[in-house]
Amino acid sequence: MVITAEKATMAKRITLCEMDHLSIGKKARLQRLLYEHGPGNGTMLFLPIDQGLEHGPIDFFENPAAADPEFQCKLALDGGYSGIVFHFGLAEKYMKHYAGKIPLVLKINGKTCIPPDDEAFSTLTGTVEDAVRLGADAIGYTLYVGSPAQDRDFDQFTAVRNEADRLGMPIIIWAYPRGEYVDKKGGKDSLYAIDYAARVACEVGADVVKINIPKVDHGKKADEPGEYKTLSLTWEESIQKVVHSAGKTMVLFSGGSKVDDAELLRNARTTMENGATGLIFGRNMWQRPMDQALNISRQVSEMMKSI
Active site residues per annotation: 176, 210
Taking each helix axis from N to C end, the angle separating 261-273 and 290-306, rounded to the nearest 10 degrees, works out to 20
- What is the dihedral angle through the alpha carbons of 15, 204, 106, 69, rounded to the nearest 10 degrees? -90
Tell me phi and psi for residue 222, to 5 degrees: -70, -15
CA distances from 187 to 111, 190, 191, 194, 217 (A): 21, 6, 9, 9, 9
Rg (alpha carbons) of the chain, rounded to whole number: 18
CA distance 185 to 193: 8
CA distance 15 to 31: 10
DSSP-assigned beta bridge partners for residue 145: 177
CA distance 153 to 202: 15
Note whether 252 and 174 are within 8 A (CB): no
CA distances from 63 to 94, 254, 256, 302 (A): 19, 20, 16, 25
**Counting Cβ atoms within 10 Å, is residue 252 exposed (0-12), middle (13-18) or buried (19+)?**
buried
